[in-house]
Amino acid sequence: MTHSDLVPHLAPGGKGAASTPPAILAHLGDSLKRSTSLLGLILIGTALAFTSRHFLTFDNLLNVLLQNANIAILATGMTFVVILGEIDLSVGAVEAFGSVVAAYLMVFGHLGPVPAVAAALLVGTFCGFFSGFFVAYFRFHSFVSTLAVMGVARGLALIPTQGASIYGLPESFGFIGQGFIGPIAVPVILAAAVLATAHFVLTQTAFGTHVYAVGGNPEAARLAGINVGRVKLICLSAAGFCSALAGVIMASRLNSGQGTIGEADILDTIAAVVIGGTSLVGGIGTIGGTVVGVLIIGIIRNGLNLLGVSSFWQLVAIGLIIICAVLVDELRRMREPNR
């Protein structure tokens, strides 16, 4: 949503245009456009419910949430970055690096889970900060900066064990990725907390307003007194934090630190953000839309698995969905050039 959407448009004579039938119809049309992703989610879910009797079971739906908790967290950080009109290619590599750092410190450094997890989150945040520093103050394109960090983080995740997994993690560490609070898995609760916090920041804080302003028009934001570099630095650092948190969760779920995890997560993460309505050119996007995007990706993968479709074809499907989502965004921008 752009800031102009928040300002009521007045009809001649001082009366609100929203009170006229044409304006109401226009508003409804705009709402339908914003609901495209949600409608797609409903249609996909309905189709899978008819094609697989296992899809709508309570256990399967909880499994969809669990399997995509790390993607939801990665996509949260990515949403901030993409709203800025930037991209972060390092999320999967930093996810792996975070898992290895936590596991290595617990197994070989003999640290407890709490300091090991804190160190992993700090390392992930620094990776994002490193990318953001060059983007903010040396005007690197985020594609280049995060691509470099992707290589560095992936290499550092593989070097300590020469590509082997780190096993023997403390039993208490397993609660993060394998524990339950009532019927809900802990990773799902953590993902929900991250998403809720991000939604609050974007919608209820001055920083959230600055993020949209920078994404919509960096030069105008700069002239308005917003520190554009600092906003980009904070958002990329937050993306690094989210990536490391996802890595910690995966290490706990797999009961091992692995330098190879997250290799395919970049595709699902970008797909979820774009499908959720966040524009790749910046200035538009919501956490709610990202949640819908994550669910669409998760349900498609789950449904295709239930139907016995090869994982190779799943990659093809996700790629085509990304193209369709970007095409819809481009067509919308062509028809509404002022948005």
Whether 66 contacts 232, CB under 8 Å: no
Which residue in the block uniquely carries the two structure tokens 């369709």?
324
For 26, 121, 134, 238, the CA distances from 235, given in Å and listed in that order, are 34, 15, 13, 5
> What number of other Cβ atoms are within 10 A of residue 222's Cβ?
14
pTM of the model: 0.87
d(C-alpha 236, C-alpha 230), whole Å:
10
Q: What is the pLDDT of residue 35?
A: 67
Of the candidates 266, 270, 261, 277, the one whose C-alpha atom is nearest the C-alpha of residue 333 is: 277
d(C-alpha 171, C-alpha 71), whole Å:
24
Q: What percent of the chain has pLDDT over 70?
A: 88
Per-residue pLDDT averaged across 263-289, rounded?
A: 92
Whether 237 contacts 125, CB under 8 Å: yes
Would you say residue 327 has pLDDT above 90? no
Q: Which domains can be identified in the chain, with CATH numbers?
A: 54-335 (1.10.3470)
For 64, 256, 302, the CA distances from 125, given in Å and listed in that order, are 28, 21, 31
Q: Which of 76-80, 171-175, 320-324 has the lowest mean pLDDT?
A: 320-324
Per residue in 208-230, pLDDT (tens digit) is: 999 999 999 999 999 999 999 99
C-alpha distance across the termini of the chain, in Å: 9
Per-residue pLDDT averaged across 333-337, rounded?
A: 68
Per-residue pLDDT averaged across 69-97, rounded?
A: 97
Q: What is the pLDDT of residue 245?
A: 98
